[in-house]
């Protein structure tokens, strides 16, 4: 996934437009940060700076530039072509007449590259984006809208593009298909971005382009053309942007800020659930279907949230439920009934694999419910219905508050739909204890930090759990991998003796998630097996678990009055903190770990 940004102001009043563009790009770095670039037009010429590394590496280039009236910029997560200045965006055509930034993937770029070569046009980079740039330039005969229409019509794949041409020094052109792009207008400026939260204004009129629409943007107006090249009136929506959302506040990292936001988010989710009279209305589409099978589709942490809740759906709703990794499902032929309800879970709503799997399910004429955090994202536009987790923008690449908000929303949905009122009331009576557990956990981080310091000296980790603690262990293991780059793997605790226990030695730490009352005795036995083979053990367990305390090298006690239903939430947050503090010791780039991007919009 990459981020594109652009801004344009009235030339006589434009001030520091390149800096404004870089500031917008910096807010998009969570989308990708291996190289960056910016372009403008100065005295009828394309002006362009590119660099490997993060956006701030461009700051030095633009200190003394004149006040220009427009700029486009890009921050990249490499897909086609290695991380290099040559492959960084923006890309220009051979005659250096136009400059383009692109987020998405051009699937038929090789074929188009060949056609260009046949016409004597040679690309210098290894990217699909330059092919698109050269193609537009090839078709440009003076009318940019026509050139864009012709070129984009030949494109297979997804794109959100912004481009400038030296013949139109006061215009930015933009278009998108299956990739996010929003144009925001405030008093003195018009901006375009992959994500509304990169805009500098607080209240802006937003124009969302439909697929294949083309926008011609000057400092005072946005003209939109449909695929046939006809002007199209667009409905504006008003955006209220909270700049605090993109600030770390008193926290050293977005990840820690977002870990601590989970407490208020949990209370908000529960209050919405308990007081929202039209919740029934919002989920009526689920109720109306004679659902006899549920298929959960997701990737990464969202997949783990689906795994945790799937056993709760089966227990409380008695509906067979399967959870599939989207990148696998999209190339499989699942056996689905005609009353299957698909639930797609995605924080960003832009994950390419999830979108691909969802499109396949929709082609089977089955309903798709989306659980998402980003309004207007592609998933919310292709799903039949969407429930928003309202976790607020999650900036750290490593998902924490979005994961827990997805889990909580799905669990509350299950409680709303179950007919087992006895179990429902027992679980709901635990809500206060959960809030107290969150208070306890987030005010006892020092103990976790101390444990993290000790165990950060190890290089290999098992995370084990039973029942819903197993997918919780999977999520905990992913957190550690993602931000510390340490080798870790999750297993069902009962599975250890079927092979993995062969790996146990004094150098491999087993982190045990013992938050499942039902299977506490069983995981205790598993820990004895590990201990007897000199495996170091760090156990997260309910307060008062004396036997586990004797077996483990270290324990972190969590409240022992939690219903098994809510343990995954609390134990996940404890292990988020553990991973965070280990990463502090490893001095990694916690909010923007190497090789990763916040949303993987390519296969």
Grouping H, G, I as helix, E, B as strand and the rest as coil, residue 541 is strand
2 is catalytic: yes
**Residue selected from 87, 348, 411, 477 as contacting ligand AGP according to rule CB under 6 A:** 348
Q: How far is the CB of 580 from ligand AGP (least distance, A)?
A: 12
Q: By CB under 6 A, is residue 323 in contact with ligand AGP?
A: no
Question: What ranges make up the beta strands (E) of 43-131?
Answer: 45-52, 70-76, 91-92, 98-106
**Residue selected from 397, 480, 551, 562 as contacting ligand AGP according to rule CB under 6 A:** 397
Is the Cβ of residue 175 or residue 348 nearer to ligand AGP in the bound state? 348
Is the Cβ of residue 49 or residue 77 nearer to ligand AGP in the bound state? 77
**Residue selected from 158, 301, 360, 411 as contacting ligand AGP according to rule CB under 6 A:** 301
Q: How far is the CB of 399 from ligand AGP (least distance, A)?
A: 4
Q: How many whole angstroms separate alpha carbon 525 and alpha carbon 23? A: 55
Q: Which residue is nearest to ligand AGP (CB)?
A: 300
Among residues 27, 50, 185, 598, which one is catalytic? 598
Q: How many whole angstroms separate alpha carbon 585 and alpha carbon 580? A: 9
Q: How far is the CB of 602 from ligand AGP (least distance, A)?
A: 12
Among residues 2, 21, 372, 541, which one is catalytic? 2
Q: By rule CB under 6 A, what count of residues binds ligand AGP?
A: 16
Is the Cβ of residue 48 or residue 354 nearer to ligand AGP in the bound state? 354
Nearest to 287 by CA among 372, 473, 426, 413: 413
Query: Which residues sit opposite 74 in a β-bridge?
Result: 4, 37
Q: By CB under 6 A, is residue 32 in contact with ligand AGP?
A: no
Q: By CB under 6 A, is residue 398 in contact with ligand AGP?
A: yes
591 CB-near residues (< 8 Å, 6+ apart): 30, 253, 254, 255, 395, 396, 397, 398
| Residue ranges in 349-388 that form contacts with ligand AGP under rule CB under 6 A | 351, 354
**Is 486 in contact with 457 (CB distance < 8 Å)?**
no
Geometric angle at alpha carbon 547, from 544 and 551, rounded to 5°:
120
**Residue selected from 24, 184, 300, 306 as contacting ligand AGP according to rule CB under 6 A:** 300
**Residue selected from 482, 514, 530, 538 as contacting ligand AGP according to rule CB under 6 A:** 482
**Residue selected from 346, 386, 445, 510 as contacting ligand AGP according to rule CB under 6 A:** 346
Which region holds residue 206: left if phi is over 0, alpha if psi is between -120 and 50, else beta? beta
Site string for ligand AGP, 462-481 (x = CB under 6 A): ----------------x---
**Is 358 in contact with 368 (CB distance < 8 Å)?**
yes
394 CB-near residues (< 8 Å, 6+ apart): 258, 347, 373, 400, 401, 402, 598
Is the Cβ of residue 490 or residue 501 nearer to ligand AGP in the bound state? 490
Q: How many whole angstroms separate alpha carbon 566 and alpha carbon 588? A: 31
**Residue selected from 189, 567, 599, 601 as contacting ligand AGP according to rule CB under 6 A:** 599
Which region, judged by CB under 6 A, interacts with ligand AGP, from 174-182, 294-302, 451-459, 509-517?
294-302
Q: How far is the CB of 371 from ligand AGP (least distance, A)?
A: 9
Q: How far is the CB of 223 from ligand AGP (least distance, A)?
A: 33
Nearest to 225 by CA among 158, 154, 153, 131: 153
Q: How many whole angstroms separate alpha carbon 568 and alpha carbon 472? A: 6
**224's tokens:** 């939109």
**Residue selected from 99, 149, 171, 347 as contacting ligand AGP according to rule CB under 6 A:** 347
**Is 240 in contact with 202 (CB distance < 8 Å)?**
yes
Which region, judged by CB under 6 A, interacts with ligand AGP, from 29-37, 246-254, 300-308, 421-429?
300-308
**Is 356 in contact with 330 (CB distance < 8 Å)?**
yes
Q: How many whole angstroms separate alpha carbon 55 and alpha carbon 26? A: 6
**Active site members:** 2, 598
- Which residue ranges make up the site for ligand AGP (CB under 6 A)? 299-302, 346-348, 351, 354, 397-399, 478, 482, 599-600
């Amino acid at each position: 996934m990459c981020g594109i940004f652009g801004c344009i102001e009235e030339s006589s009043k434009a001030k520091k437009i390149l800096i404004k563009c870089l500031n917008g790009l910096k807010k998009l770095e969570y989308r990708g940060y291996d190289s960056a670039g910016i372009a403008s037009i100065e005295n009828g010429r394309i002006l362009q700076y590119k660099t490997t590394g993060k956006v701030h590496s461009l700051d030095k280039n633009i200190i003394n530039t004149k006040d220009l009236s427009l700029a486009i910029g890009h921050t990249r997560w490499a897909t086609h072509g290695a991380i290099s200045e040559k492959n960084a965006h923006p890309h220009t055509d051979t005659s250096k007449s136009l400059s383009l930034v692109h987020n998405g993937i051009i699937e038929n770029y090789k074929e188009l590259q060949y056609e260009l070569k046949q016409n004597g046009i040679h690309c210098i980079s290894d990217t699909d984006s330059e092919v698109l740039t050269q193609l537009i330039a090839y078709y440009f005969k003076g009318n940019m809208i026509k050139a864009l229409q012709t070129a984009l019509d030949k494109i297979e794949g997804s794109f959100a593009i912004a481009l400038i041409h030296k013949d139109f020094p006061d215009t930015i052109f933009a278009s998108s298909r299956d990739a996010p792009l929003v144009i925001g207008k405030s008093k003195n400026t018009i901006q375009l971005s992959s994500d509304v939260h990169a805009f500098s204004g607080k209240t802006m009129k937003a124009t969302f382009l439909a697929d294949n629409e083309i926008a011609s943007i000057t400092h005072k107006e946005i003209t939109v053309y449909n695929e046939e090249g006809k002007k199209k009136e667009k409905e504006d929506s008003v955006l209220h942007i909270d700049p605090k959302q993109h600030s770390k506040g008193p926290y050293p990292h977005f990840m820690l800020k977002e870990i601590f936001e989970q407490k208020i988010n949990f209370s908000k989710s529960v209050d919405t659930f308990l007081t929202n009279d039209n919740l029934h209305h919002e989920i009526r589409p689920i109720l109306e279907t004679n659902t006899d099978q549920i298929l959960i589709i997701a990737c990464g942490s969202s997949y783990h949230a689906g795994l945790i809740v799937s056993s709760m759906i089966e227990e409380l709703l008695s509906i067979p439920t399967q959870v599939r990794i989207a990148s696998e499902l999209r190339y499989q032929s699942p056996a689905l009934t005609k009353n299957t309800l698909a639930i797609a879970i995605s924080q960003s709503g832009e994950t390419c694999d999830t979108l691909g799997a969802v499109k396949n399910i929709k082609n089977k004429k089955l309903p798709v419910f989306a659980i998402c955090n980003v309004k207007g994202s592609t998933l919310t536009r292709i799903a039949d219905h969407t429930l928003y987790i309202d976790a607020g923008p999650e900036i750290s690449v490593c998902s924490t508050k979005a994961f827990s908000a997805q889990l909580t929303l799905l669990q509350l949905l299950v409680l709303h739909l179950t007919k087992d009122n006895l179990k429902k009331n027992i679980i709901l009576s635990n809500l206060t204890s959960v809030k107290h557990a969150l208070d306890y956990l987030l005010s006892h981080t020092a103990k976790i930090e101390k444990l993290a310091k000790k165990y950060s000296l190890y290089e290999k980790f098992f995370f084990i759990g039973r029942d819903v603690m197993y997918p919780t262990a999977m999520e905990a293991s992913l957190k550690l991998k993602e931000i510390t780059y340490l080798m870790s793997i999750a297993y069902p605790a009962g599975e250890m003796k079927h092979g993995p226990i062969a790996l146990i030695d004094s150098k491999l730490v087993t982190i045990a998630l013992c938050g499942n009352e039902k299977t506490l005795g069983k995981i205790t036995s598993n820990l004895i097996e590990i201990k007897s083979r000199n495996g170091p053990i760090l156990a997260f367990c309910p307060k008062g678990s004396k036997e586990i305390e004797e077996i483990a090298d270290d324990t972190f006690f969590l409240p022992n009055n939690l219903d098994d239903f809510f343990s995954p939430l609390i134990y996940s947050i404890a292990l988020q903190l553990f991973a965070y503090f280990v990463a502090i010791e490893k001095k990694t780039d916690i909010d923007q770990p190497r090789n990763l991007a916040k949303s993987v919009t390519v296969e």
